[in-house]
Amino acid sequence: MSLVTVPAVLLRSYPYSESSLVLRFLTPEHGVVSALAKGVRRRSSRGETPMETFQRGSLTFLYREERDLHGFRDFQSPISSRPLAGDLLRFSGASFLAELVLTHTMQEANSRLFTHLVGLLDRIETEARAELPGVILSGAWTLLLDFGFPPALAECLDCGEELPGEGMGRFDVEGGGIRCGVCARGGEGPRIGPEAQVDLRRLVSGTPSGPLRGAAAHLSLVERYALYHLAGRRPFHATTLLRTSLVQLGTEDGGEGGGEMGPMEEEGASLPGIPDA
């Protein structure tokens, strides 16, 4: 056992007993660290400042080799994550990205992932609301790229025709790509028009631009893709609230960014783009 101090971001906490918490951090050197914080719930009920999810700071923990649960000692944070906690869209977006990381990441060094996630959380805290759907969904896709699951969006999965072609294609979650309008006929999977394909490519490349049309449908797409490729055992918790927040933002914006195009859970629902061919 050794006492270790590392940069960290708090991704999740949950009660362990009446007085204790299990805290799950992402760190550059140790990947996801789960640490048992004894008595911390009692202390925060006595008025000490509780740790907030998505706070970044310096974590000191008792590292137990070959163990899943380590001993929490201290977490010093100079930055408050208040802007996240006070805004459902920002909070649920950050929660979704945290869930992706927790689903996939083990206790192994990955400083690139740490820098990537902290950068995304910074943007989710500070970006204008209208830009947030693009930032959050692009964040999810770029994390999936980091994990080694890039979708193939340049060419049709079947015929190799350059995308986006004409007509309504279909996204193949398991195949990890898109079928062109011709090859998609009679097939299955979420329908995705040419404009939505362009939007999707921007999200995956990490360069969302402006308000995102059909954000709730884009969320359903990345959620399904992540569930399949990360072999998640259950649906992500954060996406229900995130979807509601996206639809609400879309309503504020006049229906452009939200879910009015219809989520893609139902067969036949589609991403906006062009009318169904």
φ, ψ of residue 61 to 5 degrees: the values are -145, 160
Q: Which is nearer to Zn ion, 127 or 155 (CB)?
A: 155
Q: Which is nearer to Zn ion, 263 or 273 (CB)?
A: 273
Among 69, 152, 154, 159, binds Zn ion (CB under 5 A): 159
For residues 161 and 128, the answer to whether their CB atoms sit within 8 Å is no
Q: How far apart are CB 3 and Zn ion at their closest, in Å? A: 58
Q: Which of 52, 46, 98, 114 is nearest to 77 (CA)?
A: 52
Quick check: 153 binds Zn ion (CB under 5 A)? no
Q: Which is nearer to Zn ion, 146 or 172 (CB)?
A: 172
Kindly write down the DSSP assignment for every residue of 176-245, as one continuous string.
Answer: TEEE-TTTTTT--S-EE-HHHHHHHHHHHTT---SSPTTHHHHHHHHHHHHHHHTT-SS--SHHHHHHHH
Q: How far apart are CB 182 and Zn ion at their closest, in Å? A: 5
For residues 243 and 214, the answer to whether their CB atoms sit within 8 Å is no
Q: Which residues of 249-267 are buried (b: 16+ CB within 10 A; e: fewer)?
A: bbeeeeebbbbbbbbbeee
Q: Which is nearer to Zn ion, 29 or 161 (CB)?
A: 161
Q: Which is nearer to Zn ion, 259 or 273 (CB)?
A: 273
Binding to Zn ion (CB under 5 A): which residues in 98-127? none
DSSP 8-state class, residue 51 = P
Q: Which is nearer to Zn ion, 180 or 264 (CB)?
A: 180
Rg of the chain over Cα atoms, rounded to whole angstroms, equals: 20
Interface with Zn ion (CB under 5 A), residue total 6
Classify the phi-psi angles of 2: left when phi > 0, otherwise alpha if psi is within -120 to 50, otherwise beta. beta
For residues 247 and 169, the answer to whether their CB atoms sit within 8 Å is no
From residue 217 to residue 246, the character string flagging contacts with Zn ion as x (rule: CB under 5 A) and all else as - is: ------------------------------
Q: How far apart are CB 28 and Zn ion at their closest, in Å? A: 42
Among 40, 156, 242, 249, binds Zn ion (CB under 5 A): 156
Q: How far apart are CB 193 and Zn ion at their closest, in Å? A: 15
Q: Which is nearer to Zn ion, 39 or 187 (CB)?
A: 187
Secondary structure (3-state) at 254: coil
Quick check: 183 binds Zn ion (CB under 5 A)? yes
Q: How far apart are CB 277 and Zn ion at their closest, in Å? A: 13
DSSP bridge partners of 15: 21
Quick check: 84 binds Zn ion (CB under 5 A)? no
Q: How far apart are CB 221 and Zn ion at their closest, in Å? A: 19
DSSP 8-state class, residue 171 = E
Quick check: 261 binds Zn ion (CB under 5 A)? no
For residues 139 and 90, the answer to whether their CB atoms sit within 8 Å is no
Q: How far apart are CB 156 and Zn ion at their closest, in Å? A: 3
Among 158, 195, 253, 260, binds Zn ion (CB under 5 A): 158
Binding site for Zn ion (CB under 5 A): 156, 158-159, 161, 180, 183
